[in-house]
A = this chain, B = another copy of it.
Amino acid sequence: MTQQFEHFKPVALDHASRLVNHGPTVLVTSAHAGRRNIMAAAWSMPVEFTPPRIAIVIDKHTFSRELIAASGVLAVCIPGAAAADLTYAVGTSSGREGDKFARFGIETWPGALTGVPLVASGCVAWLECRLIPERHTEEAYDTCFAEVVAAAADERVFSNGHWSFREDNADLHTLHHLGAGNFARASAMIKAKPLP
């Protein structure tokens, strides 16, 4: 499960939305005033390439929402297939019951721009984000908007602005939650051919 950041390279901001373009399940990390949390989120999407902006559903009753509302920042970390168990574990437990990083042995690195913990264990990319306060959608749909201020990815699976899912990097393929701890892996790339 352990993986440090030696393979990570910065991702240009105008390529950052591509990291979540294909709908991976992500880990949301947050921190405020000495407390921190990590949760899983299947529901996120880009809403803009430039500036890179995303929407993400974070239930208003969660500890993560409390920390993000207080700090105004969050990180979106993208787990690789090797982190499936970890992703499900942090998605089915609450940080109010105790620090999940310690409980599950999750290694982190502080985000340079936000201070939010970035997940090293099994992750293949991360995006540091600033919340764009949108009270109505946060309340009505638990939908939070955020702008990406920094991003990086493991160059073995994302480089020059493109994902490359191959047989030799299966552990780095992104996870896509189907429900109840079942994930599909994004793999088997297809190149569309032009139609007449």
Those of A43-93 within 8 Å (CB) of chain B: 43-48, 53, 55, 57, 81, 84-89
Q: Is the CB of B145 within 8 A of A195?
A: no
Contacts A162-B182, A178-B22 given; indicate if A48 touches B85 (C-beta within 8 A): no
Interface residues of A (CB under 8 A from B): 18, 21-25, 42-48, 53, 55, 57, 81, 84-89, 104, 134, 136-137, 141-143, 145, 161-163, 165, 170, 173-195
A53 surroundings in chain B (CB, below 8 A): 141
Q: Is the CB of A189 within 8 A of B179?
A: no
Pick the 5 closest A-B CB pairs, nearest first: A23-B23, A88-B192, A22-B176, A184-B186, A181-B192
- Closest residue of chain B to A180, judged by CB? B162
Cβ-neighbour of A163 out of B44, B184, B192 (below 8 A): B184
- Closest residue of chain B to A17, judged by CB? B43
